[in-house]
A and B are shown apart, each in its own frame.
Chain A
Amino acid sequence: MTGGNSGHPKLRVKGATKVYQTRSGDLLAIDRCSLDIQEREIVSIVGPSGSGKTTLLWCMSGLHHLTAGEVLLDGKPVNGPTRQIGMVFQEANLLPWRDLDANINFPFEIMGTKPDRVWVDELLNRVGLEGFGGKFPRELSGGMQQRAALVRALSYKPSVLLMDEPFGALDAFTREEMNRLVEEIWLDRPTTIVLITHSIEEAIFLSDRIVVMSPRPGRVASIHKVDFQRPRSIEIMATKEVFDLTNTIKMEIIKMQQRQPAKPATDAIQPAAE
């Protein structure tokens, strides 16, 4: 097992299977996925489109229910959304009729609690959004919107942050900036992060481990450990190690796409020897 610095994994996915009922019959989206994520670990999930990455993440968050298997948070099953888990969506997903302050206040209105003003202000400060509280989403750039979404997700201090292709819609430079920001915030106040991404570079820059998923039905095909020192600078991204790892993962995904349907992966949590 990887990184077992404490006895319990923070988040444990056991034999997660999800079948969607569609018009054309049942669709097996993910098939017996198992994965242990340790406390304060950043894990990325990559894989070809349609490999059930988003399905897996939504099941982890409790927004979707598994057909079989279970998700355990601190050893307790996740049966629905919990405030221990914060979700960052594909788009910034801000409410357009609320200004920035009201958007950040939204989780607290739903939960019926009061925000920790000091913490929220610190977050806003850190992402460079102080003084923008009265602005509406349409007045903010894509990067600013996504930063606001990050603040909103962190505002109520969840112990797990699930990010569903959070920076996919941003341009390359804004994306790198966001990656550095996530690492910076994480170094300051480590949480457990699970990140879905299409960018292997992003996965390498941020993660402790990278999970590669197979094409539909999604299974855990392999897990790669990423052992670079933190804080990671943008320079390490130009090293041979990163280049090799990127290519290994890329080739793995391409090969899987070529020989569809994928052969059943062993139902296991074995990390690839790396």
Chain B
Amino acid sequence: MSETDAIPEFKAGHAAGGDVGLNNMSALTSGPGIKSFGEVLAILVVAVIIIGGTELLLNIFEVPQYVLPKPSEIALALVTEFPLIAPHLGYTLVELLAGFAIGATVGLVLAAVITQFPFVEKIVTPYILLLVTTPMLALVPLLILRFGFGYEPRIIAVALASGPMVMINAATGFRRVDAGKIALARSYGASTFQIFWKVRAPMALPMIFVGLMVGSIFGLLTAVGAEMVGGGFGLGNRLTSYSSMIQMPQFFAVVLILSILGILIYVLFFLLGKKFASWEA
């Protein structure tokens, strides 16, 4: 937390949101731990220049707030409006977690099963590709017609968006057959089941984490998109609502929250991957 003290230019308190994002970014880009204080300093200096520069330029050219609000105004809006935005963050998280849990589970199970039967895989793959490439947002109006303006259409959309992403990546992992390792297990008399759990699954783990990460980010996109289509709650709904009232600082505060959410998801899977799949460079 000493880094916070190292940025006197930030109006203390206002920059809390941006700060978290920055710390996470540096943790990511510098890989296994930040190497030196100099590195931290450089990262922070660049951040200060970008944010401070934006603030300065917007002031000099007197850019109206409805075009682009100043960073300080966004930070202020984030702090003052947060109690109003927080419940919506909660709704979005519920949709994301529920949809992703369903999608990822189905995706993982399908990937594991299908890769065991190459023939089935050939038949199913085109449909999975179709699901991956079709934006599931396109289905949201239809889902709303059927399920109304509640959680259901959103959770279904998130599951449909994240599931195929998880599946296609996990399938790539499960398909990575190392005949030598399987022969090794077989030489001890391993059953098909044991080969799956002790060899195939661990070997697929790095790709599974990639799938979970991509899938959850897609899930977030879809959740927010679905909220923008209809229904009176969620961060996506806040975006349409604030922009319709030209409350741009608030609008950008929500955008900032979404970025941080995305980064946190990335960091979560990055750390999980590092912990459980670091054996692969």
Contact = CB atoms under 8 A, between A and B. Distances in A.
Check if A and B associate. yes
B193 to A, nearest CB: 11
Interface stretch (A19-27, A103-111, A119-127, A219-227): A103-111
A83 B186 CA distance: 11
Interface residues of B, number: 19
B186 A81 contact: yes
Given A93-B181, A95-B199, A96-B279, A63 B188 contact: no
B189 A110 contact: yes
Contact of A80 (B189, B198, B199, B205): B189
Nearest to B178: A93
A186 interface: no
A108 B26 CA distance: 43
Contact of A97 (B183, B185, B187, B279): B279
Given A96-B279, A96-B280, A136-B279, A111 B180 contact: no
A147 B165 CA distance: 41
Given A93-B180, A109-B198, A81 B279 contact: no
Interface string A105-140: 011011100000000000000000000000011100
Contact of A89 (B183, B188, B198, B205): B183
Contacts of A97: 202-203, 205, 277, 279-280
A91 B185 CA distance: 14
B276 to A, nearest CB: 8
B184 A89 contact: yes
Size class of A's contact patch?
20 to 34
A83 B280 contact: no
Nearest to B184: A93
A97 B206 CA distance: 10
B202 A95 contact: yes
A109 B190 CA distance: 9
Given A81-B186, A81-B187, A93-B180, A110 B194 contact: yes
Which of A89, A91, A95, A137 is most buried by chain B, counting CB atoms within 10 A of its CB?
A95
Given A110-B198, A136-B279, A89 B189 contact: no
Given A97-B202, A110-B194, A89 B180 contact: yes
Contacts of A82: 189
A109 B198 CA distance: 9
Which of B180, B189, B280 is most buried by chain A, counting CB atoms within 10 A of its CB?
B189
A87 interface: yes
Interface in B234-279: 277, 279
Contacts of B277: 97
Contacts of B203: 97
A192 interface: no
A136 B188 CA distance: 21
A110 B188 contact: yes
Contact of B188 (A91, A93, A107, A137): A107
A107 B194 CA distance: 11
Interface in B164-199: 180-181, 183-190, 194, 198-199
A61 interface: yes
Contacts of A95: 181, 184, 199, 202
Nearest to A110: B188
Which of B187, B188, B190 is most buried by chain A, counting CB atoms within 10 A of its CB?
B187
Given A82-B189, A136-B279, A87 B184 contact: yes
Nearest to A108: B188
Contacts of A93: 180-181, 184
10 closest A-B pairs (Cβ-Cβ)? Answer: A110-B188, A87-B187, A97-B279, A107-B188, A96-B279, A110-B190, A97-B202, A81-B189, A81-B187, A93-B180
Interface of B: 180-181, 183-190, 194, 198-199, 202-203, 205, 277, 279-280
Given A91-B180, A95-B202, A110-B188, 20 more contacts: A81-B187, A85-B187, A86-B187, A87-B187, A89-B183, A93-B180, A93-B184, A95-B181, A95-B184, A95-B199, A96-B279, A97-B203, A97-B277, A106-B198, A109-B198, A110-B189, A110-B190, A110-B194, A111-B188, A136-B279
28 contacts: A61-B187, A63-B187, A80-B189, A81-B186, A81-B189, A83-B188, A85-B187, A87-B187, A90-B180, A93-B180, A93-B181, A93-B184, A95-B199, A96-B280, A97-B202, A97-B205, A97-B277, A106-B184, A106-B198, A107-B188, A109-B198, A110-B189, A110-B190, A110-B198, A111-B188, A111-B189, A138-B279, A156-B188
